[in-house]
């Protein structure tokens, strides 16, 4: 059974896909230039939708609509993640499908660096220094 961290690791991809596709993420056509993250999230949602029964589909559609209607609402995004977890509990084989869609094959580690002088590391890299003037001696 998928743990919370596995589904939590999908958050950014779900957010990106909803930002690009809105509530048509499950049924709409691909959008040119959508970006890799949006396509990962779209793939996760569509794979989940294809696996669940009618009741599961209704819950997923409702969660997608709510999350798309309120892009900044983390609670709505949490409900969407919960629907994915519910599908994973009922269909354990879905975890492998979703993991294959995630960067790194669902290793559970997603590393993103953003902004000037940012560092991204997937594990312990030792000492990392950013900023101006390192390596020069100012006396």
Q: What is the pLDDT of residues 83-100, one digit of tens each?
A: 999 999 999 999 999 999
Residue 61 near residue 26 (C-beta atoms within 8 A) = yes
CA angle 13, 94, 23 (to 5 degrees): 40
Q: Report whether pLDDT(128) > 90.
A: no
Query: Per residue in 57-86, pLDDT tens?
Result: 999 999 999 999 998 899 999 999 999 999
Nearest one of 106, 93, 2 to 50, comparing CA atoms: 93
CA angle 13, 5, 78 (to 5 degrees): 60
Q: What percent of the chain has pLDDT over 70?
A: 77
């Amino acid at each position: 059974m998928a743990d919370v961290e596995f589904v939590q690791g999908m958050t950014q991809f779900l957010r990106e896909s909803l930002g690009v596709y809105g509530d048509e993420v499950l049924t709409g056509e691909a959008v040119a230039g959508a970006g890799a993250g949006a396509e990962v999230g779209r793939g996760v949602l569509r794979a989940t939708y294809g696996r669940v029964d009618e009741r599961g589909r209704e819950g997923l559609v409702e969660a997608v609509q709510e999350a798309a209607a309120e892009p900044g609402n983390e609670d709505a995004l949490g409900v969407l993640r919960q629907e994915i977890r519910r599908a994973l509990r009922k269909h354990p084989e879905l975890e492998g499908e979703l993991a294959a869609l995630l960067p790194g094959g669902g290793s559970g580690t997603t590393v993103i660096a953003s902004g000037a002088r940012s560092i991204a590391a997937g594990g312990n890299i030792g000492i990392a220094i950013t900023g101006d003037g390192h390596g020069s001696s100012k006396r």
